[in-house]
Structure 1
Amino acid sequence: MATDPEPFVIRGAGGVRIVADRLGDPGARAVVFLHGGGQTRRSWGRAAAAVAARGWQAVTVDLRGHGESDWSSEGDYRVVSFAADVEEVLRSLPPRPVLVGASLGGFTAMLLAGELSPGIASAVVLVDIVPNMEQAGADRIHAFMVDRVESGFGSLEEVADAIAEYNPHRPRPTDLDGLTTNLRRRGDRWYWHWDPQFISGAAALPPVEVTDPDRMHAAVAAILRHGVPMLLIRGQMSDLVSQQRADEFLTRFPQVEFTDVRGAGHMVAGDRNDVFAGAVLDFLARHSSNA
């Protein structure tokens, strides 16, 4: 098995260039990881390695406007457009992959597997996201992303301070050079890697689909009607998916499996990758005949 991810490029909806990494046997069944808003495919590195080590093909995708993927010239960052891009990625993979989506990536998985292309996925893992999320948590994410979106940062130290303030339960980043994977240098300042139109443009976050829980609940219901197993992984300290919101979702959809990750906030894989990867692998093992 290759130990380094192999990058590949797919043309998404409207010709947008989508960059992804593949780790493991390209002929094996795929687990496709979809990051949250403002993140990149590299946020899944350790989880992807753990999945590939079990014989799966791990695929991590930079959503449009993020990482190395193209920015949308029209500022089109609707969830349905993210989903259409990912559908094109899936066309290059063995049939019926598993979708693992965090936050925005989870909404993308819902619409892709439940509305745009029912039956395309063999299993779905939602990482700290439900349609009926806490608005206060969503507002905090939005505030973090919109802050400095235009002005940028004067140094990597400033970036580390901003991240530490947003994630007080994590140690302040010490590998400042490692932060550059999420940044772009313009002149003498650093800016987040993602397209500012994603957060401040005419079609900016939150896309209409994110604020339409009825539509998202319908997508989840459609996924489950097709017999597709689903797992919700929640960060126990999450302010986006509170215990109450998780309980409401699980009461509505009792067939959904649930893992609560102690010591993790909204960024579950980054906070407790050991527990996160173990939960995903256990879920895959339980549903190997389906997945």
Structure 2
Amino acid sequence: MQLNTRIWGEGDRVALLVHGIMADHRTWRKVGPALAERGYRVIAVDLRGHGASGRGEYTADLFADDLVETLPTGAELAIGHSLGGLSLALAAERLRPARAVYSDPAWHLNSLQESISPELFVQFKSVTRAMVAALNPRWEAEDVDVELESLKVWDENTARGLAGIFGSDRAPARAVVPSLVQFADASFLYEAAEAARLTARGFEVRTVKGAGHTIHRDDFEGFMASLDGWI
């Protein structure tokens, strides 16, 4: 499926941005322009079932196939958050970016979160502004607005279609390109031992102190600082 995209900048170097579940390209409202200022032509997608992209069947492999169909190979940089990190990892060998960044990727739910189910995500379809703000106290008001607008056009069947990844271990066996895994300090996805496991598989691992799962909205400056040497 060809995905809807948003482009910032006109640089010779290309950066790819892949959002997480329930979001769309608007989640990168600060990251896209910041990378464009550094000379990148930034391409952010709406995954299938999100934003202005098409609807259909939903599996992790299909999300990855859509990236390969839509995005250029050999980009200088690719960043995937959460579900976007899972999708990017599954597409990395075909997209072959020079560098990949996986921001709190949805590869593995820690043992305390094995009870997470698709229906838990579906419930967010009707979340209120007060709830979004309370769950994300460090977000700017515009990020809360973006979240609510993104939820309106999100197909909640994406969560149901991904039921197979809940409770499973989808971490890559190795880093197929130079890769950074960026952990949120308050991540609900990972336990401390995961960093050592991924390091042994060839990933560099960094943690953004004090940040929650959506690092780039929780602490934009910390997110960008964590990318030092990768952008």
Give your verdict on TM over 0.5: yes
Contact (CA 8 Å) 1:37, 1:104: kept in 2 or not? Answer: yes
Distance in 2, matches of 1:174 and 1:36, equals: 18
Normalising by the residue count of structure 1, what TM-score does the alignment of the two structures yield? Answer: 0.70
Aligned twin of 1:270: 217
**CA offsets 1:179-209 (integer angstroms, 9 cap, x no match):** 552243xxxxxxxx21122123xxx22345x
Q: 1:196 aligns with which of 132, 145, 156?
A: 156
Q: Which amino acid aligns with 2:149?
A: T
Distance in 1, matches of 2:230 and 2:222, equals: 12
- Superposition deviation, residue 81 in structure 1: 0.8
Distance in 2, matches of 1:230 and 1:106, equals: 11
Normalising by the residue count of structure 2, what TM-score does the alignment of the two structures yield? Answer: 0.86
Question: Which structure's CA Rg is the greater one?
Answer: 1
Q: 1:181 aligns with which of 140, 143, 149?
A: 149
Q: 1:138 to 1:66 in 2, by over 3 A?
A: farther
- Superposition deviation, residue 24 in structure 1: 0.9
Q: Gapped runs of 5+ residues in structure 2?
A: none
Distance in 2, matches of 1:207 and 1:199, equals: 10
Q: 2:172 aligns with which of 217, 241, 251?
A: 217
Q: Which amino acid aligns with 1:65?
A: G
Identity %: 26
Q: 1:278 to 1:198 in 2, by over 3 A?
A: same
Aligned twin of 1:188: none
Q: How many residues align?
A: 231
- Superposition deviation, residue 139 in structure 1: 4.7
Aligned twin of 1:8: none
Contact (CA 8 Å) 1:64, 1:82: kept in 2 or not? Answer: yes
Distance in 1, matches of 2:52 and 2:119, equals: 24
**CA offsets 1:195-243 (integer angstroms, 9 cap, x no match):** 122123xxx22345x6553x6423xx161xxxx2110111101111232
Aligned twin of 2:186: 237
Aligned twin of 1:124: 100
Q: 1:216 to 1:262 in 2, by over 3 A?
A: closer
- Structure 1 residue 90 corresponds to structure 2 residue 71: yes
Q: Which amino acid aligns with 1:282?
A: G
Q: Gapped runs of 5+ residues in structure 1?
A: 1-11, 153-157, 185-192, 285-291
Distance in 1, matches of 2:204 and 2:172, equals: 16
The alignment partner of 2:207 has SS state of strand
The alignment partner of 2:29 has SS state of helix
